[in-house]
């Protein structure tokens, strides 16, 4: 390197050194100067942050107080007014109001206000009815968004009152939202434009959410209270109605006994107490089964029917009712009508109505006795009339001309009819008066049926009315317990009807079969049948059908009533079936209890 070059390098180094020194000094000076600025700045920022924290603390406290107020009070108006008061206090607002949506007409209604005491703006506190979307409140609700308006007079969303309020210039409005729903709007006002800060808006929004929850809770509470009140009223009305019905049931002269679905006695009125000889207080709540012994054997079918319906409500057919005359052990005769209580296909229990017919039965018995006596007294003169008429016809008093013979024949046949009637009447009235007793013994029904059928066969031969009679019975048919003469009478009477009301060349089948504890007799014919409208009456005294074959056949209408009484006396049952179509005939069935060796 030449000297010149070395000098240049040296100058270069010197210059570089000077520059570095200058830079270091400058930077030292700068650092000193910035340190001097930093301290007050930091201090200021700390002070600002402290103030901010204090405000936040205050805000949080306010929020907590609002929360406390609105959640502690069930009085919504008080809570809302307190909230607005607190809010005004915290953010320095002069007025505050809460507007809510009315669910019925979807309009916005004024609900609470604070700071409206100033006389010049009382108009602003009047209830408002804005539609959703109308005015600032409507805008906030529709857009679900808070708004801070520096000066309402510059904002087109603001709907000015007819009298402009000098106090409502600066406004914050925040939605009251619960979940997805906006239920109203909270608003605060100040007369100075630009008074409120965005921070105030956050505060109003935060309080708005709390208020919304509180309002929602209060509305739910009101709804629940209303419903509870309504339910309470309904219950009270039902209780009143139930008491009224109970009073009616209590007042009726007939005995009423109600059982529930579990066969427990639910209600007994005072007439039932008297008739059945019970006390309501020891009866209600007890199972009906506990009283079977008390009521006696006669009530077995009644209690069994109730039990069957309770255990299997499907066994009940619509329209099924049960009626029976019960001879109670306390000597009373009671007519019981039983019906199930079904509500919306549910079996709720049964109602039994009892009527004490002891007196009626006694009167009826007296009447039967009277008829029995009269019929008995009529028999003697009738026998002699018929006897003498027959004697005259036989020529015992000399020869008769044709006319005399004809007249005497009429006398004789009518006396014959009359004596049948008197005999039937005597029979029935004696049975009804309880003057007929049965001499029960084991009976082979097949033998009795064969004998009765033999009589009809002979009659058909004499009258030359061809009839096909058939007995259908198993060889091992068990014996029944009955009175031979009376069981024969039952079978003869039914066979006689089948023969008389079936045209020539008809068929009669007598079918015998053991069914549970009884033997069932079915007597089927293919005669004229019985019209459905007559079927309910054929066991009534003196009832006779209108069929031409019936009208042409002499009869008294007393045969079936006698048969029914006799079957009942044997503790059997009797019923009939017929389509009412001529040629399809009828089937009369009855049962007799099986003979049990130990009896
Ligand atoms: P009667 O036979 O004397 O008229 P019943 O009491 O025996 O009286 O019968 C009453 C009525 O029942 C009869 O008049 C008749 O209309 C009807 N009836 C009874 N049995 C039969 C039958 N097997 N077929 C058709 N109708 C019958």
Assign residue 591 the CATH number of its domain. Answer: 3.30.565.10
**Neighbour-count burial for 341-361, b at 16+ CB within 10 Å, e otherwise:** eeeeeebbbbbbbbbbbeeeb
Residue nearest to atom 3 of ligand 1 (CA): 555
Residue at which a domain ends, from 318, 333, 356: 356
**Do residues 218 and 283 both lie within one domain?**
no
Lookup: tokens for 559: 């045969």
**Do residues 44 and 136 both lie within one domain?**
no
CATH number at residue 131: 3.30.450.40
CA 557 to centroid of ligand 1, rounded, Å: 7
Could you read off the pLDDT of 78-116 as tens digits, one per residue? Answer: 778 888 888 888 888 888 888 888 878 888 888 888 886
467 forms bridges with which residues in the sheet?
A: 506
With bands split at pLDDT 50, 70 and 90, how would you rate the model's confidence at 562? very high
Report the pLDDT value the prediction gives residue 30, as an integer from 0 to 100. Answer: 54
Atom of ligand 1 nearest to the CA of 498: 23
**pTM of structure:** 0.53
Residue at which a domain ends, from 331, 356, 381: 356
**424 in a domain, yes or no?**
no
Q: What are the C-alpha distances in Å from 13 to residues 16, 20, 57?
A: 5, 11, 63
With bands split at pLDDT 50, 70 and 90, how would you rate the model's confidence at 599? very low
Atom of ligand 1 nearest to the CA of 558: 6
Q: Which residue has the higher pLDDT, 21 or 493?
A: 493
**Do residues 334 and 193 both lie within one domain?**
no
**Do residues 220 and 324 both lie within one domain?**
no
Helix axes 358-393, 402-432, angle to 10 degrees: 160
CB of 538 closer than 8 Å to CB of 545: yes
Mutate to test the pocket of ligand 1, among 524, 544, 548, 583 (most ligand atoms within 8 A of CB): 544
Domain limits for position 19 = 2-59
Extended strands (E) in 62-135: 95-102, 107-114, 129-131
Residue at which a domain ends, from 334, 356, 378: 356
CA 498 to centroid of ligand 1, rounded, Å: 8
Rounded Cα gap, residues 411 and 489, in angstroms: 28
Report the pLDDT value the prediction gives residue 439, as an integer from 0 to 100. Answer: 93
Residue nearest to atom 7 of ligand 1 (CA): 559
The count of domains in the chain is: 4
**377 in a domain, yes or no?**
no
Q: In what order do the strands lie in the sheet with 255-260?
A: 265-268, 255-260, 346-356, 333-343, 322-327
Q: Which of 432, 435, 426, 433 is nearest to 375 (CA)?
A: 426
**26 in a domain, yes or no?**
yes
Where is mean pLDDT largest: 153-157, 291-295, 504-508? Answer: 504-508
215 forms bridges with which residues in the sheet?
A: none
pLDDT at 283 over 50: yes
CA 366 to centroid of ligand 1, rounded, Å: 27
Report the pLDDT value the prediction gives residue 164, as an integer from 0 to 100. Answer: 63
Spell out which residues line ligand 1, taking CB within 6 angstroms: 497-498, 501, 525, 527-530, 538, 543-545, 550, 555-560, 586
**246 in a domain, yes or no?**
no
**262 in a domain, yes or no?**
yes
CATH number at residue 264: 3.30.450.20
**Do residues 30 and 134 both lie within one domain?**
no
**Do residues 94 and 122 both lie within one domain?**
yes
The DSSP string of 432-500 is: HTT------EEE-HHHHHHHHHHHHHHHHHHHT--EEEEEE--TTPPPEEE-HHHHHHHHHHHHHHHHH
**Do residues 10 and 93 both lie within one domain?**
no
**378 in a domain, yes or no?**
no
With bands split at pLDDT 50, 70 and 90, how would you rate the model's confidence at 209? confident
pLDDT at 521 over 80: yes
**Do residues 10 and 151 both lie within one domain?**
no
CA 440 to centroid of ligand 1, rounded, Å: 28
Rounded Cα gap, residues 303 and 179, in angstroms: 62
CB of 203 closer than 8 Å to CB of 157: no
**96 in a domain, yes or no?**
yes
**Do residues 446 and 594 both lie within one domain?**
yes
**362 in a domain, yes or no?**
no
Mutate to test the pocket of ligand 1, among 530, 533, 574, 575 (most ligand atoms within 8 A of CB): 530
CA 535 to centroid of ligand 1, rounded, Å: 10
CA 494 to centroid of ligand 1, rounded, Å: 9
**Do residues 495 and 588 both lie within one domain?**
yes
**Do residues 17 and 79 both lie within one domain?**
no
Rounded Cα gap, residues 94 and 96, in angstroms: 7
CA 501 to centroid of ligand 1, rounded, Å: 7
**Do residues 50 and 78 both lie within one domain?**
no
Round the average pLDDT of the chain to a whole number and report it: 85
């Amino acid at each position: 390197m030449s000297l010149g070059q070395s000098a240049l390098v040296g100058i270069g180094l010197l210059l570089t050194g000077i520059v570095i020194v200058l830079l270091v000094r400058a930077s030292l000076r700068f650092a000193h100067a910035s340190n001097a600025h930093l301290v007050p700045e930091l201090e200021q920022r700390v002070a600002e942050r402290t103030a901010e924290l204090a405000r936040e603390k205050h805000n949080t406290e306010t929020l907590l107080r609002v929360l406390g107020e609105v959640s502690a009070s069930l009085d919504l108006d008080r809570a809302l007014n307190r909230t607005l008061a607190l809010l005004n206090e915290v953010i320095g607002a002069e007025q505050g109001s809460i507007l809510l949506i009315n669910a019925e007409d979807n309009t916005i209604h004024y609900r609470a206000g604070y700071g409206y005491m100033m006389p010049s703006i009382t108009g602003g506190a009047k209830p408002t009815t804005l539609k959703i979307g109308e005015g600032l409140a409507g805008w906030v609700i529709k857009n679900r968004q808070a708004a801070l308006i520096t000066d309402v007079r510059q904002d087109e969303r603001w709907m000015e009152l007819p009298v402009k309020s000098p106090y409502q210039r600066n406004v914050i409005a925040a939605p009251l939202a619960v979940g997805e729903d906006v239920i109203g709007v909270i608003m605060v006002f100040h007369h100075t434009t630009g008074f409120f800060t965005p921070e105030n808006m956050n505060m109003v929004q935060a309080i708005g959410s709390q208020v919304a929850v509180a309002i929602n809770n209060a509305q739910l509470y009101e709804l629940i209270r209303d419903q509870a009140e309504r339910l309470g009223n309904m219950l009270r009305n039902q209780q009143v109605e139930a008491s009224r019905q109970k009073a009616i049931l209590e007042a009726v002269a007939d005995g009423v006994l109600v059982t529930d679905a579990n066969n427990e006695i639910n209600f007994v009125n005072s007439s039932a107490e008297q008739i059945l000889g019970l006390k309501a207080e020891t009866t209600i709540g007890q199972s009906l089964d506990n009283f079977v012994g008390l009521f006696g054997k006669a009530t077995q079918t009644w209690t069994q029917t109730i039990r069957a319906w309770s255990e299997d409500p499907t066994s009940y057919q619509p329209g099924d009712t049960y009626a029976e005359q019960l001879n109670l052990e306390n000597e009373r005769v009671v007519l019981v009508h039983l019906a199930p209580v079904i509500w919306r296909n549910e079996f709720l229990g049964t109602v039994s109505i009892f009527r004490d017919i002891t007196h009626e039965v006694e009167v009826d018995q007296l009447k039967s006795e009277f008829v029995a006596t009269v019929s008995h007294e009529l028999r003697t003169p009738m026998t002699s009339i018929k006897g003498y008429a027959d004697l005259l016809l036989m020529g015992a008093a000399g020869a008769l001309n044709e006319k005399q013979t004809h007249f005497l024949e009429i006398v004789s046949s009518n006396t014959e009819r009359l004596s049948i009637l008197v005999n039937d009447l005597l029979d029935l009235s004696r049975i009804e008066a309880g003057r007929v007793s049965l001499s029960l013994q084991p009976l082979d029904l097949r033998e009795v049926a064969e004998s009765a059928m033999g009589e009809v066969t002979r009659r058909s031969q004499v009258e030359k009315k061809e009839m096909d009679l058939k007995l259908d019975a198993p060889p091992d048919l068990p014996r029944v317990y009955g009175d031979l003469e009376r069981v024969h009478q039952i079978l003869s009477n039914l066979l006689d009807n089948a023969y008389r009301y079936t045209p020539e060349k008809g068929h009669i089948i007598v079918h015998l079969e053991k069914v549970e504890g009884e033997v069932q007799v079915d007597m089927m014919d293919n005669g004229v049948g019985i019209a459905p409208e007559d079927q309910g009456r054929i066991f009534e005294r003196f009832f006779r059908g209108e069929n031409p074959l019936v009208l042409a056949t002499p009869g008294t209408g007393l045969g079936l009533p006698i048969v029914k009484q006799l079957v009942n006396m044997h503790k059997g049952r009797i019923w009939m079936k017929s389509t009412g179509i001529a040629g399809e005939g009828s089937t009369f069935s009855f049962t007799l209890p099986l003979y049990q060796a130990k009896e």
